[in-house]
Amino acid sequence: MPADQPTLAAVVRERTGVAWSRARKLVAEGRVTVDGERRLDPAMRVSPEAVVVVNEHAPKVEKGPLQRSAIVFHDRDVVVVEKPAGMLSVADEPGNKDTLVDHTRTLLRRIDKDGADVPLGVVHRLDRDTSGLMMFTRSPLAKRVLTEAFTAHDIERIYHAIAHGEVPEVRMETHFLLDRGDGLRGSHGHFRRAKGEPPPDSRLAITFVKPIAPLAGATLVECRLETGRQHQIRIHLAELGHPVLGEFVYIRDYRGVKIEAPRVMLHAGTLGFAHPRTGKGLKFEREAPEDFRKMVEALGIPSPAE
């Protein structure tokens, strides 16, 4: 845009007669649109043909690491939240407050004054790179009941992933070891030939994998968890020979053409459970975020959201 064109703040000031500081603030708060789109930069240049609309009563644009819309459900017992990719579920070291549990509690302080100081209980986690639905408990009853539900595999969890190659429909049932023989988590007997039964400290892991759509060099798949071990979907798909796009740990054995991705392409899209106090069945669903949909589109078919 030519430098002789007025800034957006200047246009707002001319239209409304407010002070410069107020004009800039209106733009920064998201109360101004240009040709129907919200613009937040007061210094952007505006052409004479542009349609600028100022609404001083429009809601402010949300700021911060976790948006208000991320709170999917909450009551005195449980909160369901949509975790963005790149955010830790809980602290990886003492003092780290840049986590989903901390940002969720901050949001709850704003929208639920009665339960503001209730600590959030952790009953499951999502990897840093994984987006999607996660829950925290808000009462001792909920913590006990939902912990038992996870142990009994009574929680419905459905993920979507983009995996390398042509993925078949399969039920993966293995026993996870902390070290499969090369320093990585993995299934008993996968890296090294199994000798006898799985050791007592191994953990049963069951994943149902179903292809949804073929892509160019990859497959959009649905993964249903019966168990919930750390990195379960990533490990099972890698051991199946179809690591998730963006995988950086469980991919050393993959010999196919590697498709680059900005993160591990894994999204927790469905979370269902019985309410810990009432027993009422609850089920929540959220579409994959934009980076996931764009990856699907780039590989050859319309995104799942369309």
Residue 286 lies in a domain: no
CATH number, domain at 215? Answer: 3.30.2350.10
Residue 116 lies in a domain: no
The sign of the dihedral angle between the CA atoms of 259, 262, 264, 269 is negative
Whole-number Å distance between alpha carbons of 52 and 113: 38
Whole-number Å distance between alpha carbons of 4 and 46: 10
CA torsion angle 244 248 251 256 (round to 10) = 70
Domain holding 168, by residue range, is 159-266
The alpha carbon of 247 is separated from its chain's Cα centroid by a whole number of angstroms, namely: 16
* pLDDT exceeds 50 at position 42: yes
Q: In terms of pLDDT, which residue wins out, 44 or 283?
A: 283
Beta-carbon contacts of residue 83 (< 8 Å; ≥ 6 apart): 70, 89, 100, 126, 130, 131, 132, 133, 134, 268
Whole-number Å distance between alpha carbons of 39 and 48: 16
State pTM to two decimals.
0.78
The pLDDT of residue 306 is 43
What token pair was written down for 262? Answer: 């900005």
The pLDDT of residue 5 is 85
Whole-number Å distance between alpha carbons of 9 and 50: 14
**What's the angle, vertex CA 159, arms to CA 198 and CA 145, rounded to 5?**
70
Contact by Cβ (8 Å): 143, 119: no
Residue 85 lies in a domain: no
Mean pLDDT of 266-292: 97
The pLDDT of residue 174 is 96
Contact by Cβ (8 Å): 223, 233: yes
Residue 206 lies in a domain: yes
Number of structural domains (the chain) is: 2
DSSP secondary structure code for residue 1 in this structure: -
Residue 256 lies in a domain: yes
* pLDDT exceeds 60 at position 305: no
- How much of the chain exceeds pLDDT 70, in percent? 94
DSSP H/E element including 72: strand 71-74
Mean pLDDT of 49-74: 85
Residue 242 lies in a domain: yes
Mean pLDDT of 77-98: 92
What token pair was written down for 158? Answer: 């459905």
CATH number, domain at 30? Answer: 3.10.290.10
The pLDDT of residue 62 is 65
Whole-number Å distance between alpha carbons of 159 and 286: 10
The tally of CA atoms less than 13 A away on the side-chain side of residue 125 is 16
Residue 241 lies in a domain: yes
What token pair was written down for 292? Answer: 């996931």
Whole-number Å distance between alpha carbons of 215 and 81: 30
- Burial class of residue 164 in the structure, from the number of CB atoms within 10 Å of its CB (0-12 exposed, 13-18 middle, 19+ buried): buried
**What's the angle, vertex CA 127, arms to CA 228 and CA 150, rounded to 5?**
25
- Please state the length of the chain: 306
The tally of CA atoms less than 13 A away on the side-chain side of residue 274 is 14
Residue 122 lies in a domain: no
Mean pLDDT of 120-128: 96
